[in-house]
Structure 1
Amino acid sequence: MAVRLFGSMVALGVVVGTGGCVDGGSPPVDGLRAPAAAAVVGSQDTELLLRGAPWWPSGFNAPQIATNYAINYGCGAEVDLDEFFGKLPRNSLTRFAMFQALAVNKSTGELDFRAADAVFAAAQRHGQLVLPVLIPQNGDCDDEVFKQRDWFVRGWTEYRPIAGRAVMSPRDWVRTAVERWRSSPMVAGWTVIGEPEPSNCAGSTCEERRRTCPGDAAQVLRAFMDESGALVRALDPQRLIFAGFLGGGQCGTVATEFEFVGAALNVDVLEYHDYSDGDVALPGGRRNGLATRIVQARALRKPLLVAEIGIPAGSCLPVAERRDYLAAKLAAQRDAGTAGALFWAFVPDPRPDQCTLDIGPDDPLWAVVAEYSTLG
């Protein structure tokens, strides 16, 4: 996930500090020993299901909701979690950054789950489903390292200390996160890495024009999906695993490689991320476009979630016009066979005097989420 700019439930407890209760007095729970909750989100062929009923979720990417500057280095402005989750429409879905750095205390350098636990606790209080993304491809808000080919082969298993950001290997972080929060019934599934791309970087920069794609990129990415997915599946057998793909022809998922990697046994839901112009409903060409990805998802009998969709607004476009463009996109994409769409990105402090992807608390896209999040 690129940072572009970036029932009655028991609250989860903390791991470090003086102990006690989180947000309202719920007793702490040892997430490392808690069993996985029953999954409420499933899939059937190309559809997502919520409690067994066909579900087409809309919602928001909210990458910064685990930010707490008293604890971690954060990822944007802090969010009032009860205000955010309390305002969300029913049957919506929130995708968010749950990176290792957001669970490390920047002062002590030790694991500190308080900020992260607060997100899951608030989601549970308000009955809202969440989709955590555990590792960012580009390193934003985490280790600040772009993941190259060798990271997908072995680097993700290696521990490289980063003060205030990393206290274990990425693989151990995936294990730790799933073990801790699998007991929350509001977890819709898991995304191991957002926008995976096993390319190589030239020199000290990893900007797109300086990357090269190794010939075995698809095989490397498929093996990573097999291995990382098996780890998640062993810890939380019922939950869906989301691919995290950007989907537009990136290294490792070009053309038919998308289908090859997406066929991995431990990938349940495919993804596409859409930042195309507002009047383009099904972006991309014949090799890597959204229409092609829908056909590939049908061949695999897996849902295709447009997990990120956004159009800049503010000084460059009125938010009401953006709403109209995106509502039309969602309607066309749903009719074409997608399984849901999540807007990029909620922020508590939108900048109307700039041209950004910000979606504030009063943005008209909230009404679009309410309209398009359908069940049954």
Structure 2
Amino acid sequence: MRIAATIVATVLSMVLGTVACTAAPSTTPVSRVAVSGDSLTLDGAPWWPTGLDAYQLATDWSVNRGCGAEVDLDAYFASRPAGSVTRFNAFQQLAVNKFTGRLDFGPLDAVFAAAERHARLVIPVLVGQDGACEDETYKDRDWYRTGWTAQTTGPLSYRDWVATAVSRWGDSQAIAAWEPIGEPEAGVCHDATCGPQLRTCPADAPQVLRDWHDEVGALIRHHDSAHPITAGLLGGDQCGMAGSGYALIADSPYVDFVQYHDYDDSRFLPLRLSQTPKPLVVTELGIHAGSCLPLHERAERIGARLDSYAELGAAGALLWAFVPDPRPDLCTYDIGPDDPVLAIPQMN
């Protein structure tokens, strides 16, 4: 799976500080997941995926700066039922050795290897909108237009990171889909922190995001022609998605299925379902529990919400978020290894 082209590209990046990732994988990838109308299939059979967001899977404090707590990968994937999906952060910073500043794929390799050992599926998220666990910088309109091709704080530009990651892991049987970015927006910043109060949304934001998904999607397809690509859209009235913006992005030929992130009691979900014939997966369902709600009551609410998604026509759902160290005395979205939500029928 670790192809020679990726090794060469990595060496070049260390020596030259850049990488020209133009060669497609030497093997032809095969995807277990496919799109069928407004639904998904797994190994050719109808599939309504459920699972967890576990953003921190590639945290390895002995190598990288991490993003959340370390996770026992074999224990985690062994605990998940067959056919379940885990969405996790596959950010460039998690492939950078914090001692040398150079690329070190070990922690991310370990995630894919563990998922493969247990025949489980993952959605790698290649970068986040808000910069969390990387440079902590909000990605503005200019980033979507040109900034994503420029080298910034990491060894590689975002463009070269996408090419490198997809080339390296594109033939993995663990991949359910590639997610280019989590929760994209195309706002214009008016101060150094790009705070939401001083951020504006330009009229061309939907087209900027559509053009970007077209370009990045074509790049992913060049290196992996088999696995689906999903647009990691929040789905509300965020900059670039309000009104018909969501539909414009969803219509990209390089978006196979779209997302909705539900922290608003599904307020926009019926609208988003009506705007695209493609599958829509609720890839983040977050309900607070702990000090503010007993865990068993949250499990009941989540079970009912999953039933409502299926009735509305959504194509699957993932829960935000698994953590190995839940905080029961606080009001959080934490889902620990023994959370009762994992026992509800819809999750098994």
* TM-score (norm: length of structure 2): 0.92
Pick the aligned partner of 2:298 from 319, 322, 337.
Answer: 322
Does the 8 Å contact 2:25/2:167 carry over to 1? yes
Q: How far apart are the structure 1 equivalents of 2:298 and 2:101?
A: 42
| Alignment check: 8 A CA contact 1:81 1:119 kept | yes
Counterpart amino acid of residue 282 in structure 2: V
- Structure 1 residue 209: Cα displacement: 2.6
Q: Provide the residue aligned with 2:235 in structure 1.
A: 247
What is the correspondence of 1:184-263 to structure 2 with a 5 Å cutoff? 184-263=172-251
Instruction: Give the secondary structure class of the aligned counterpart of 1:131.
Output: strand
1:67-125: CA deviations, max 9, x gaps?
00100000011000000000001111000000000000000111000000000000000
Distance in 2 (alpha carbons) for counterparts of 1:310 and 1:332: 15
* Residue of structure 2 in register with 1:294 after alignment: 273
Percentage identity across paired residues of the two chains:
50
CA contact (8 A) 2:3 2:26 kept: no
CA gap 1:32/1:143 in 2 versus in 1, 3 angstroms: farther
Instruction: Return the structure number with greater helix share.
Output: 2
The CA deviation at 1:261 is: 1.5
- Matching of residue 351 in structure 1 with residue 327 in structure 2: yes
* Pairs within 5 Å for 1:263-342: 263-276=251-264, 280=265, 283-284=266-267, 289-297=268-276, 301-342=277-318
SS at match of 1:185: coil
Residue by residue over 1:252-284, the C-alpha shift from the partner in whole angstroms, topping out at 9 and shown as x without a partner, is 1111111111101101111100013xxx4xx22
1:372 maps onto 2:346 in alignment:
yes
- Residue of 162, 166, 173 corresponding to 1:174: 162
| DSSP-derived class of the 1:176 partner | helix
Tell me, what secondary structure is at the counterpart of 1:69? coil
Distance 1:159 1:249, change over 3 A: same
- Is 1:64 the equivalent of 2:64? no
The answer as to whether partners of 1:11 and 1:124 remain within 8 angstroms in 2 is: no
Distance 2:221 2:347 in 1: 27
- CA distance in structure 1 between the aligned counterparts of 2:192 and 2:150, rounded to whole angstroms: 21
Offset, 1:36 = 4.1
- Partner of 1:260, secondary structure, is helix
- Paired residues of 2:29 and 2:225 also in contact (CA < 8 A): no
TM-score normalised over the length of structure 1: 0.85
Q: Which runs of 5+ in 2 are unaligned?
A: 9-22
CA shift at 1:32, angstroms? 8.5
1:129 and 2:121 correspond: yes
Counterparts in 2 of 1:73 and 1:329: CA distance versus 1, 3 Å: same
What's the secondary structure of 1:136's corresponding residue? coil
Look up the match of 1:26.
Answer: none
What is the alpha-carbon distance in structure 2 between the residues aligned to residue 206 and residue 174 of structure 1?
A: 25
How far apart, CA to CA, are the structure 1 residues paired with 2:234 and 2:3?
32
| RMSD after superposition | 1.9
Separation in structure 2 between the aligned mates of residue 12 and residue 230 of structure 1, nearest angstrom: 21
1:108 aligned partner: 100
Deviation track 1:204-229 (CA, whole Å, cap 9, x = no partner) reads: 22332322101110111110011000
Q: What displacement does 1:198 show? A: 0.7
Deviation, 1:143, is 2.2
Shift of 1:373: 5.2
